[in-house]
Chains A and B, each alone.
Chain A
């Protein structure tokens, strides 16, 4: 080698850009909050027509459907660049992750394409979410019910 490994390592060492990190955090906070505000608005409207549990269920369905449609027409990924994690953390992010994978693999067939790959990105949410729920519920059972 013409130069040592250490020379290159030192050369490419990245400096953390706290300024742009802060900007991203604020963007996520703002757009995530805006999305939740919209969700609350829809929930308030639904509450006038349905009973409480049905209304919140319908809210989730509405959000998932809107995100799926926006993904299908190719707008969601561009919105995601502006809203950062603000769109990815709420349920809309889950919907997008499922739909984008399904779209990508639909040419490989319904079973081996869409079926097998639909949860490629979102699967970890289901698996780890369920696991976390089991652990937390067990602890709750242990402390609240038994003790």
Chain B
């Protein structure tokens, strides 16, 4: 379902990248590079999200009490990172789970809530961490079993943004809420291919409901489809809309897939969040891009269900970011 947004502007954002992201192609656009090292992987992820929000509040000279509410979501079980981060912030919180598409859902929900006159400023945050995701969804980090080429690499990124009703130079104009799509794909080592149908479904719906075509956007981004999913989506878009040249994938922007050891590309909530809130935001501010469509994708799998030989449900949400 598509929503036209009228009151949602981006006040500011802050993105912290890890070590590998700091060596990637868009490292110059990241606000801060830091490889946090705490006693556990989970604590490390919490530290980086806390630090990210602190930096953002400092940058915008705001206090937690100035924010009406916060929307946050990431990959961890029981939203550990979100809940343990916000226990120190005391902002009314909506915790969301939409796997790697958290940022699009967060920004979209925030924008919808800004339609209510009472809300003035909303904090949206997300994060991901290679080690904690590896431990939760795959094998222990030091396990020497072969990782297949179709696998993606969870990025270590913490990203946060503040949405406001007051006009700034970046506006969110449209939001398409996706449906859960499951076509019976079961390979948990190939999320790219699993999520491609969800991405296409939401993209088609977005184009149909907004009466637009890929060429109406300066750039169309998908979240973390890996090089395999990227090819599938590109093929299908070409089939339906002619030659689409402005389509890219965030996981392939954040890392240099050929020279960095990230298998088929980056994944995780931090991937699309980092690319949108650092790279795209700065490109729009520099007027190099004007209208960008992000279709963030998420594989909503549960390791338990995968072990029980069940398939992978996926979701994707579209949000349009425009420079004014």
Contact = CB atoms under 8 A, between A and B. Distances in A.
Interface string A1-33: 111010011011010000010001000000000
Contacts of A88: 144-146
Contacts, number: 91
Nearest to B182: A5
A100 to B, nearest CB: 4
Interface string B160-182: 00000000000000000001010
B146 A96 contact: no
9 contacts: A1-B201, A2-B204, A8-B183, A9-B184, A80-B145, A84-B146, A85-B146, A100-B143, A104-B142
B190 interface: yes
B205 interface: yes
A34 interface: no
A107 B131 CA distance: 14
Given A11-B235, A87-B144, A88-B145, A2 B139 contact: no
A24 B141 CA distance: 22
Contacts of A101: 140, 143
Chain A: interface size category: 20 to 34
Contacts of B179: 1
Given A2-B204, A2-B205, A107-B39, A11 B196 contact: yes
Given A9-B183, A11-B232, A14-B190, A79 B144 contact: yes
A76 B144 contact: yes
B236 interface: yes
Contact of A96 (B143, B149, B236): B143
In order of increasing CB-CB distance, the 10 nearest A-B pairs are: A80-B144, A8-B197, A100-B142, A2-B204, A104-B140, A100-B140, A100-B143, A96-B144, A76-B144, A8-B183
